[in-house]
Structure 1
Amino acid sequence: MTKKETRLKEMNQALKALIEPEGDWLANLANSSALLFEMLDGLNWAGYYIWKKDQLVLGPFQGKTACVRIDEDKGVCGTAYSQRKIMLVDDVHEFPGHIACDPNSRSEIVLPVIVGGEVIAVLDLDSPVKARFDELDRKYLKEFVEILVDETNFLPLMEKF
């Protein structure tokens, strides 16, 4: 196991220990974004956009100020939401319709947060390093989101579905 994989595995174990005793969705999104920002090198933003009234709306995050609202199918986050799939982008400047909240961002990975068959949010990670994210990140961040969903009460967010 590589050093990077060991670190990602430790991050997921830390997430489970951190949120297991706490079911509140807001607290868990806040703490999990802080954990990502602390444990992953080369990030300039880590956080969530929550689906509200036909838009993704800024949720808990770590990093520079961010865009507040993103429409479905717009940018990497909106595309991950509408296509219900993980988007791994090596160079955001080459992504059609990229939304430049931070002009220093070069690469991005966005993961849909799916609860009860509905995408309720997306997890967004940005880096100023081109091609920062790879298949190992995809694997462990997918597991990270699965842990979050398993350990968190998202029912208050589900009322709109």
Structure 2
Amino acid sequence: MDQHEPLSLVDARLQLRGLMQGEPDLVANSANFSALLAQQLADINWLGFYFLQGQELVLGPFQGKPACVRIPLGSGVCGAAVVQDKTQLVPDVHAFPGHIACDIASRSELVVPLHDGTGVIGVLDIDSPLTDRFSADDVQYIELLAREFCSLQFAQVQAGRS
């Protein structure tokens, strides 16, 4: 993937708002958000969404190689993030019990739960070919942007129902 320096949080939030303005479609917005993040983060081999459908996570828009399509709740890093409703930072995926290897090149992973106002609706999943790729600052940055994404998405959907 073509890599660039991360935008400041303020600039990233402004760009995300601009991309999502007036658009209630979750697929369109998550596709643009994944592209925005992929341009900013170095040493990433996969970045995308899984959305909750029943008792499994189903692949959404992403940047990177083809991916696992369905992940049962509680399975792998993504499933753990949903069940625990907690960000999962995994410095070495080979040390994570039950890790699902969609891409054998992945060495570390960051998974952030996404919410719609009623509960978890899915996850933002980011993989790196480097062990211990994600810092505490990365986690905070991604969590804040993920919350902004969810807030904007939920507001767009609510506005469309009015």
TM-score bracket, normalised by the shorter chain, equals 0.7 to 0.9
Correspondence 1:38 to 2:59: no
Q: Note the residue ranges of structure 2 that are not aligned, 5 or more in a row.
A: none
Letter in 1 for 2:140: K
Q: Which residue of 2 aligns with 1:7?
A: 7
Letter in 2 for 1:140: Y
Q: Note the residue ranges of structure 1 that are not aligned, 5 or more in a row.
A: 157-161
Percent identity over the alignment is: 46
TM-aligned CA deviation for residue 103 of structure 1: 0.4
Does the Cα contact within 8 Å between 2:116 and 2:151 map onto a contact in 1?
A: no
Residue 7 of structure 1 aligns to a residue whose secondary structure is coil
Q: Which residue of 1 aligns with 2:145?
A: 144
Q: Which residue of 2 aligns with 1:117?
A: 118
Following superposition of structure 1 onto structure 2, how do residues 20-59 of structure 1 map, counting pairs within 5 Å? 20-59=21-60
TM-aligned CA deviation for residue 114 of structure 1: 1.2
Q: Distance in 2 between matches of 1:91 and 1:73?
A: 19
Q: Distance in 2 between matches of 1:140 and 1:71?
A: 27
Residue 105 of structure 2 aligns to a residue whose secondary structure is coil
Query: How big is the alpha-carbon RMSD for the aligned residues of Structure 1 and Structure 2?
Result: 1.8
Relative to structure 1, the CA distance from residue 102 to residue 8 in structure 2 (aligned partners, 3 Å threshold; closer, same or farther) is farther
Deviates more, 1:129-138 or 1:9-18: 9-18
Residue 7 of structure 2 aligns to a residue whose secondary structure is helix
Does the Cα contact within 8 Å between 1:47 and 1:123 map onto a contact in 2?
A: yes
Q: Distance in 2 between matches of 1:103 and 1:41?
A: 18
Q: Which residue of 2 aligns with 1:133?
A: 134
TM-aligned CA deviation for residue 122 of structure 1: 0.4
Does the Cα contact within 8 Å between 2:24 and 2:157 map onto a contact in 1?
A: no
Q: Distance in 1 between matches of 2:133 and 2:12?
A: 17
Q: Distance in 1 between matches of 2:17 and 2:63?
A: 19
Does the Cα contact within 8 Å between 1:89 and 1:108 map onto a contact in 2?
A: yes
TM-aligned CA deviation for residue 117 of structure 1: 2.9
Q: Which residue of 2 aligns with 1:159?
A: none
TM-score normalised by L of structure 1: 0.88
Deviates more, 1:130-139 or 1:15-24: 15-24
Q: Distance in 2 between matches of 1:73 and 1:47?
A: 18
TM-aligned CA deviation for residue 155 of structure 1: 5.5
